[in-house]
Copies of this chain bind each other. A is one copy, B any other.
Amino acid sequence: MSLDDKAVKPHDRLAKALADDMAAVDVLIGERMASENAPRIPEVTAHLVGAGGKRLRPMLTVAAARLCGYEGTFHHNLAAAVEFIHTATLLHDDVVDESRQRRGRPTANLLWDNKSSVLVGDYLFARSFQLMTDTQNLRVLSILSNASAIITEGEVLQLSAAEDMKTSEETYYKVIRGKTAALFSASTEAGAVLSGAPETQVEALRDYGEALGIAFQVVDDLLDYLSDAATMGKNVGDDFRERKLTLPVIKAIAKADEEGRAFWKRVIEKGDQREGDLEHALELMQANGALEETRAAALGWADRGRARLAELPGSELRDMLDDLADYVVARLR
Contact = CB atoms under 8 A, between A and B. Distances in A.
A288 interface: no
A165 B95 CA distance: 29
A129 B115 CA distance: 23
Contacts of A127: 149
A189 to B, nearest CB: 15
B133 A149 contact: no
A284 B114 CA distance: 34
Contacts of A142: 130, 133
Interface string A140-165: 01100110111111111101100000
Given A92-B119, A114-B99, A122-B92, A38 B157 contact: yes
Nearest to A148: B126
A113 B41 CA distance: 25
Contact of A153 (B41, B95, B116, B133): B41
Interface residues of A, number: 50
A123 B96 contact: no
Interface string A295-333: 000000000000000000000000000000000000000
A318 to B, nearest CB: 30
Given A138-B136, A138-B138, A153 B123 contact: yes
A6 interface: no
A213 interface: no
- Looking at chain A's contact residues, the main secondary structure is helix
A153 B35 CA distance: 7
A154 B122 contact: no
Contacts of A125: 122, 125, 148
A129 B141 contact: yes
A174 B37 contact: yes
Contact of A126 (B35, B149, B174): B149
Given A118-B118, A138-B133, A37 B154 contact: yes
A155 B119 contact: yes
A282 to B, nearest CB: 27
A40 interface: yes
A19 interface: no
B38 A156 contact: yes
A14 interface: no
A287 interface: no
5 contacts: A95-B115, A96-B114, A99-B111, A116-B156, A122-B148
Interface of A: 35, 37-41, 88, 92, 95-96, 99-100, 110-112, 114-116, 118-123, 125-127, 129-130, 133, 136, 138, 141-142, 145-146, 148-157, 159-160, 174, 178
